Amino acid sequence: MPDHLGDLWIANTVSDLIQGDVKEHLPLESIPLRGDVLGLGTTTSIDNGELTFLPNDAGNTTIWKCQASDGGIRALHPGDGSAHFPYVCFSADASALKVLLDPAELGVVEGRPLQELVGDAITRLCREGRLAEAPIYGLRAELEWRSLVITVASKLCMGQQRRNTAIASSEASEGTASRSIYQLLQHYRLAEQDPGDPVDPIRYLGRSLQWECCGFFDSDPSLGRVTVPASGAHLHLHGCSVDLSHGGHLHHEHPGSVLQGVRRLALYPLQQVHQLASDLGIEQLRFEAGAACFSVVNRGALDVSDVGVAVVLNDRYSDHRYLRLPWLAAGGCEQFSVPLCLETGVHRLEVIADPEHQILEEASLQANNRAVLEVRC
């Protein structure tokens, strides 16, 4: 993975994630965690949760997984079974970009909306020439809250019907799409006292009100790169309580989240944004010894899961052969031999990777998804 200063890499996007059924994943091993690496993301649909990138005592970065079941956290390590991510964004070592702001410069912060506070700070620092203008700013902050609501992903598929709206409409689809993504997630509340309301749907966790946070401020949230693609939704922030008891997405815009103070705020201008993607392909298609032989390859940067492959003769899709690969890593290859009984004559053999278009690939990467061969028997 490149490690250019000031660059941000995005594996899928928030827009991809909330459309549901993301089958592309970036493994933990592909993320360089040396130095001050900014990032956030979401873990697998099998083991849901949020990702928070925090500095460690060795001067590098640890990814903490915030759990949907109880709002707790644990550090992730390669090989632990949940270290592959359907959405994650991260920088290289951004320590040289850090602009540290004296909290006194923020004035009175108690009760102010956090996004407004961060946005005003960016505008002022850019105007004063202390911060370079950038499409996306990373930030680290240590925040104190009077009360805080956090959310943790508990269902990655926010509704496949959201994707269906690209080609059709339905009452159910429109109803789901109109709701905020955060309404669909597990909510928790931190406060000095338990509100004690038996009908309150937000579970009370305790008094851990000092948080170490990492996130991003996107100048154009409509692109859905690191924030929900909604007007004015510039700030996406994950964090852990400093006592390492709880973690998740800071629902800073929720009425139950009231800021008390800012102990530390650092901003990082990120100039270049790179989209990571998978790239499926069918290669080396041939017919020999009565079988269609071919390779399914992944030339992209993301692992893919649950990949379908169709083997079609003479355009008869009604009786095609269908294969399914549970996993194909980035750079991986699977070879297949499918026996076919062909009558004498000329036949059109076609093999298609992801015939249902469930894998997120740019149009420019889809040309190699199919291969065609004329077979003479």
Q: Partners of 85 in the beta sheet?
A: 26
3-state secondary structure at position 352:
strand
Q: How confident is the model at residue 1 (pLDDT cuts 50, 70, 90)?
A: very low
Give the H/E segment covering residue 347. Answer: strand 346-353
Domains of the chain: 7-275 (3.30.1330.80), 277-376 (2.60.40.10)
Cα separation, 235 vs 232, in Å, equals: 9
Cα separation, 31 vs 39, in Å, equals: 10
The percent helix, strand, coil of the chain (3-state, each to 5) is 15, 45, 40
Amino acid at the residue 68: A
Positive or negative: CA dihedral 139, 144, 147, 150: positive
Q: Which of 170-184, 294-308, 362-376 has the lowest mean pLDDT?
A: 170-184
Q: How confident is the model at residue 6 (pLDDT cuts 50, 70, 90)?
A: confident
Amino acid at the residue 261: G
pLDDT (0 to 100) of residue 162: 46
Q: HSE (CB half, 13 Å, CA atoms) of 158?
A: 23
What pTM, to 2 d.p., does this model score? Answer: 0.88
pLDDT (0 to 100) of residue 177: 43
227 backbone dihedrals φ, ψ, rounded to 5°: -135, 165
Cα separation, 6 vs 134, in Å, equals: 10
Give the H/E segment covering residue 293. Answer: strand 291-298
Q: HSE (CB half, 13 Å, CA atoms) of 114?
A: 34
Higher pLDDT, 144 or 184: 144
Structural tokens at position 41? 């993301």
CA 250 to mean position of chain CA atoms: 16
Asked if 136 and 176 touch (Cβ cutoff 8 Å), the reply is no
Cα separation, 357 vs 335, in Å, equals: 21
pLDDT (0 to 100) of residue 318: 84
Q: What is the pLDDT of residues 17-61, one digit of tens each?
A: 877 668 899 999 999 899 999 999 988 766 778 999 999 999 999
Q: How confident is the model at residue 155 (pLDDT cuts 50, 70, 90)?
A: low
Q: How confident is the model at residue 138 (pLDDT cuts 50, 70, 90)?
A: very high
Task: Decide if pLDDT at 2 tops 80.
Answer: no
Task: Decide if pLDDT at 298 tops 90.
Answer: yes
DSSP state string for 219-237: S-GGG-SSS-SSTT--EEE
Q: What is the pLDDT of residues 319-366, one digit of tens each?
A: 899 999 999 999 999 999 999 999 999 999 999 999 998 898 888 889
* 244-261: b (≥16 Cβ within 10 Å) or e: eebbbbbbbebebbbbeb
Q: Partners of 291 in the beta sheet?
A: 288, 339
Mean pLDDT taken over the chain:
89
pLDDT (0 to 100) of residue 161: 44
Asked if 51 and 40 touch (Cβ cutoff 8 Å), the reply is yes
Structural tokens at position 318? 């009604």
pLDDT (0 to 100) of residue 46: 66
Q: What is the pLDDT of residues 90-119, one digit of tens each?
A: 999 999 999 999 999 999 999 999 999 999
- The β-bridge relationship of strands 291-298 and 333-339 is antiparallel
pLDDT (0 to 100) of residue 158: 45
Cα separation, 373 vs 78, in Å, equals: 42
Task: Decide if pLDDT at 241 tops 90.
Answer: yes
Asked if 8 and 91 touch (Cβ cutoff 8 Å), the reply is yes
- Kindly calculate the radius of gyration of the chain based on its CA atoms and give it in whole angstroms: 24
Q: Partners of 247 in the beta sheet?
A: 240
* 108-146: b (≥16 Cβ within 10 Å) or e: ebeeeebbebbbebbeebbeeeebbebebbbbbbbbbbb
Percent of the chain with pLDDT over 90: 72
Positive or negative: CA dihedral 248, 254, 257, 259: positive
Asked if 155 and 184 touch (Cβ cutoff 8 Å), the reply is yes
